Amino acid sequence: MSITVRAAVSEADWRQAMAVLYEVYVGEGHSPAERASQTYRREALESEGVLLIAVDQVGDVLGAMILLEPGSTLRQLARAGEREFRLLAVRPSARGSGVGEALVRACIERCVSGGAEALVLWTRPVMTSAQRLYARLGFQRILDRDEEDPRGFTRMVYRLDLTTVK
C-alpha cells in the first residue's frame, strides 16, 4: 500500500480526518461523543497546530494526528524546547500497514527540521499497539511525568530526544 503523509488543507481532508478520529476515539470508547463533537472539528483544531494525514493512492484518509504548535491551548505536556502531538488515529481497516508509523515519522521530521529538542505525547494503558510503535521509534517512557486522568486511567507519557535523531 502506498501511503503519503501531508498536512490537511482542503475541507475534504478535514472532513475525512475528523471521521477517522470519531471512528477510532468515539467508536472504540476512548472519548465520549459529546466531548468529541466539541474537539474534533476544524474550527477547534486548525489554529492549534498542523493536522497531518496519511492518504492512500486515491486520496482517502487512512490516519491522522495533530502536531501542536508550541503556544497551543491544547498542550498538556510540552515543556520548553519540546513539541507535543495528540490524537494519533488509524482507521481500523488500515492498521498494521505502516500508517501510524508513517504519521509519527513525519511528525518527527517536522520537529527536527523546526529545531525542537524533544517530542512528547501521552497514551492510555489499553493502547498497547501505539506503545509498541513509540518504543520501536525510540520514544522513552517518562514515568515521573505520568498523570492520572479524571476519566479513571493513567496518562502514560513518552518522550523522544530529537537531538539524537539523524
Structural domain containing residue 11: 4-164
Q: Render pLDDT for 9-35 as a digit per residue (tens, 0 to 9).
A: 999 999 999 999 999 999 998 888 888
Q: What is the largest CA-CA distance in the chain?
A: 43
Residue 69: C-alpha distances to residues 14, 25, 110 (Å):
18, 22, 11
The total domain count for the chain is 1
Distance (Å, whole) CA 83 – CA 71? 10
**Chain-wide mean pLDDT for the chain?**
94
Strand 4-7 with 153-161, pairing: unpaired
166: closest CA among 133, 131, 138?
Answer: 138
HSE, CB side, 13 Å, CA atoms: give it for residue 69: 9
Distance of CA 46 to the CA centre of its chain: 14
- 82, 97 Cβ separation under 8 angstroms: no
pLDDT value for 166 = 66
For residue 31, what is the domain's CATH number? 3.40.630.30
Distance (Å, whole) CA 85 – CA 125? 17
Q: Render pLDDT for 68-102 as a digit per residue (tens, 0 to 9).
A: 999 999 999 999 999 999 999 999 999 999 999 99
